[in-house]
Amino acid sequence: MLILLPPSETKRVGGAGAPLALDGLALPHLRPQREAVIDALVALSADEDEAARVLKLSARQRDDIAHNAALRTAATLPAVDRYTGVLFDALDAGTLPAPARRWLGAHALIHSAPFGPVSALDAVPAYRLAAGTSLPGLPPLRRLWADAVTAALAAAGPGFVLDLRSEAYAALGPVPAGIRSAYLRVVTHDSGGAVRALNHFNKHAKGAFVRALALSRPRVATGAALQRWAGGHGWTLRPSASGAAGELDLVV
């Protein structure tokens, strides 16, 4: 099983790892796209006012421009430790035992805007770039990344993909049609019994669900097998109430 996670806008700064090494990242076929986006971000950072405009930064967020300027030289952290926010706080990777962290490194990719999908344990620097940003000199990120990421996922050949990304990041690299996959939505029942999607608790539930998977380290090759695992570990996971093919509802 391969889990695709979204990134977070909020990140820890600093790190103790060596600078970014593109050859060491997962899905090495994506190096040309990674080089292009990094070069564009570094170049944009030379003009602070223009960078703030393009990246839609407030005055207190301007420190992120310096992070982008130093993408090739800054210290790194494992990606799963770099990101903060609701999903990653619930995942709480820093408190996982070593076998669970190794499992995440082998089974989870975090889909960043500048680097594409990277392994949970790949070393990355702090940065600022959202999926919908248009960088000077580059095509829209969706056009730059989508086909290349889909091809890289196909080359990796996972038996089953669990997609937890937001729709904006899923558009930056759709799962190949020939690979078994499920798109996860987090839902609840309202007082009238109707199913409704969640926002804040969506992220928390996804993080907690991935933490439970890492701790259990199951062998899962289909959506049905994942549902059976979930049912045995206190989770309610079922085919989408909307009837959408290839979607699963995590009911909380």
Give tens-digit pLDDT for 21-30: 999 999 999 9
Number of independent structural domains in the chain? 1
pLDDT of residue 245: 87
Instruction: Mention every residue, 6+ apart, whose C-beta is less than 8 A from residue 48.
Output: 62, 65
pLDDT of residue 199: 64
Distances, alpha carbon 2 to alpha carbons 85, 109, 166, 171, 176, in Å: 22, 7, 16, 17, 13
DSSP 61: G
pLDDT < 50 stretches in the chain = none
For residue 11, the enclosing domain spans 2-251
Q: Which residue has the tokens 């975090």?
A: 110
pLDDT in tens, 196-224: 666 668 999 999 999 999 999 999 999 99
Residues 101-111 as b/e (b if ≥16 CB within 10 A, e otherwise) read: bebbbebbbbb
- What pLDDT is stored for residue 240 in this prediction? 92
What is the dihedral sign for C-alpha 124, 82, 117, 231? positive
**CB 132 within 8 Å of CB 105:** no
* pLDDT at residue 51 in the model: 98
* Distance (Å, whole) CA 46 – CA 228: 52
Give the per-residue pLDDT at 241. 86
